[in-house]
Amino acid sequence: MTSFILRRAGMGALLVFLVLTLIFSAIRLIPGDPVELLLSSGNTSADPATVARMREQLGLNGSLPMQYWNFLTGILTGDLGQSIRTGDAVADSIAQRLPRTLELVIFATVISMAVGIPLGAWAAAKGGFVDSVATVLTSLGVALPVYVLGTLLILVFSLTLGWFPAGGFTTWQQNPGRHFQLLILPAIALSLGFTAIIARMTRSAVLETMDQDWVRTATAFGHTPLKVFRRHVLRNSMTPVTTVIGLGFGTLLGSTVLAERVFNYPGLSSLLVESVSNRDYAVVQGIVIIIALLFILINIVVDVIYGLLDPRVRH
């Protein structure tokens, strides 16, 4: 198991290096001067002095090898540069917003697992009408966009029933109760599609496992159907489901932008949209780097869990 973890960690480190190289190259391979593109407005060119100062601030002066070295060392030391608009450190801005988005994604993932796994397992075990209803619900969940569901949730539970606030953010320290209330609706809106995916994967995995020889053997030994399902079917069906959950968690990091915009939730995705609108290159680059690193880390963790659940994967 140790060698398996080391192999996955090595592959992850190589992937991190490739992703950082791609991000570094992207801004430097576009046609024209990226600083002039950032500062120009319409047909008006940027002032040469301003361009020179911005190039210095973004570290675009010097040879490409030196820029690349400064880029990597800055990331290793936690220096992601400074915002063009505010002058604040990018790392500080991300550190303020990232926990909010992670909290939202974790809450949405918990909801998806708590609903999706039992729903998929129940549909596979019961079949018939229950399976048909579950299939319709999961298809609807996949098809319904986040912004449509978010708008409906606000209309019903905020404006009509008045059970939850329509949007905004309050820190846990200021008001724990309101903080939790403001988190519920965006988490539900974000989790619906993920719940449907988990339910469909669980259903498929359970149906496949139920046809295995060891399940028929356990049934022939006289074990109760519930015991066979819990110990032999459901447990052995969790390997592909775990993979989907891990990859889906990483995907949700990039999908929160719609939920955050609809519910006016000041997370990392909202900061990314604002930075793109303001052409704040340093902040955009920093956020892309953090999201990429988190996605790679999540994939490594999923691979390790996969190896723990199924010893065959280690070899």
Please tell me the pTM assigned to this model. Answer: 0.78
Q: Could you read off the pLDDT of 39-86 as tens digits, one per residue?
A: 665 545 566 777 677 777 666 666 778 878 887 887 888 777 777 777
Euclidean distance between CA atoms 171 and 192, whole angstroms:
25
Say how far apart CA 266 and CA 66 lie, in whole Å: 36
DSSP 168: -
* CA dist., res. 253 & res. 299, Å (int): 13
- Find out whether 107 and 183 touch, Cβ atoms under 8 Å: yes
Cα gap 34→132, rounded to integer Å:
54
- Write down the pLDDT at residue 208: 80
Residue 41 φ/ψ, nearest 5 degrees: -130, 110
What is the per-residue pLDDT across 20-38, written as a single tens digit (0 to 9) for each?
888 877 766 666 556 666 6
Extract the tokens encoding 192: 């619906």
Going residue by residue through the chain, which has 315 residues, state the pLDDT in tens, using 9 for 90 and above: 777 777 778 888 888 888 888 887 776 666 655 666 666 655 455 667 776 777 776 666 667 788 788 878 878 887 777 777 777 788 888 888 888 888 889 999 999 999 988 888 888 878 788 878 888 888 888 788 888 888 888 898 888 888 888 888 888 888 888 888 888 889 998 888 888 888 888 888 888 877 777 667 767 766 666 677 766 677 777 778 888 888 888 778 777 888 888 888 888 888 888 887 777 777 888 888 888 888 888 888 877 777 776 666 666
At residue 41, the 3 state secondary structure works out as: strand
Q: Write the DSSP symbol of residue 159.
A: I
pLDDT for 301 equals: 81
